[in-house]
C-alpha cells in the first residue's frame, strides 16, 4: 500500500501501524454518538482496502459496550482505547482510534455516525463494509462489560 502511518497510546505501551490506499488528508474519521465513544471522545478511522497492525507491549483490556458485539481494545497501562474490532471469519476486522495517530492533524473533520440506531443484526454488515483487516499482537489482560 502506498501510505503507511504510525501512532501510539498515551503511555507508549501500544503502537499502531496503519496502511492505507489514501493520504490522511483524504480520510475522515467517524465520531460515534454512543455514550461510550462520546465520553472518551473517540473518533474511528478505517480504510476498507487498508490494514491495521496493533502491537501491545503490555497486556490489553477488551471492553464490550452497547450490543456487546464489538471489542474495544484498550491499553492496560494508560487506558487509551486503541481500536475497535470484531472477529469476523475468516478475518478479524476493525477500526483505529484516530487520536493515536502521530499525524492526526492531517485528517479531515470527523463525520457524526449513530450506530446505536441500528439493531445488532444490522451492525455487523455495516462493519464488514467500513472496517479493515486488523492484526493484534499482545495478550489480553481481562474482559469486562
pLDDT in tens, 26-44: 999 999 888 888 899 999 9
Supply the mean pLDDT for the chain. Answer: 91
Q: What value does the mean pLDDT take over residues 77-104?
A: 95
Q: What value does the mean pLDDT take over residues 48-53?
A: 97
pLDDT at 101: 98
pLDDT at 105: 94
pLDDT at 72: 94
CA distances from 83 to 45, 94, 95 (A): 9, 7, 6
pLDDT at 142: 63
Q: Which residues pair with 30 in a beta bridge?
A: 44, 111
Most distant CA pair in the chain, distance: 38
Of residues 32 and 9, more confidence is placed in 9
Single pTM value for the model: 0.89
Q: What value does the mean pLDDT take over residues 5-34?
A: 96
Q: What value does the mean pLDDT take over residues 113-130?
A: 81
CATH class of 3-144: mainly beta
Q: Where along the chain do its domains lie?
A: 3-144
pLDDT at 122: 84
Amino acid at each position: 500500500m502506498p501510505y503507511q502511518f504510525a501512532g501510539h497510546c498515551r503511555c507508549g505501551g501500544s503502537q499502531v501501524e496503519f496502511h492505507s490506499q489514501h493520504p490522511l488528508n483524504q480520510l475522515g474519521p467517524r465520531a460515534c454518538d454512543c455514550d461510550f465513544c462520546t465520553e472518551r471522545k473517540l473518533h474511528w478511522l478505517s480504510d476498507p482496502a487498508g490494514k491495521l497492525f496493533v502491537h501491545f507491549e503490555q497486556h490489553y483490556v477488551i471492553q464490550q459496550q452497547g450490543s456487546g458485539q464489538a471489542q474495544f481494545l484498550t491499553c492496560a497501562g494508560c487506558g487509551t482505547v486503541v481500536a475497535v474490532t470484531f472477529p469476523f471469519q475468516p478475518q478479524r476486522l476493525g477500526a483505529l482510534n484516530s487520536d493515536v495517530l502521530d499525524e492526526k492533524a492531517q485528517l479531515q473533520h470527523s463525520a457524526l455516525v449513530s450506530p446505536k440506531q441500528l439493531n445488532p443484526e444490522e451492525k455487523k454488515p455495516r462493519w464488514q463494509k467500513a472496517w479493515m483487516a486488523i492484526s493484534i499482537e499482545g495478550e489480553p489482560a481481562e474482559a469486562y462489560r
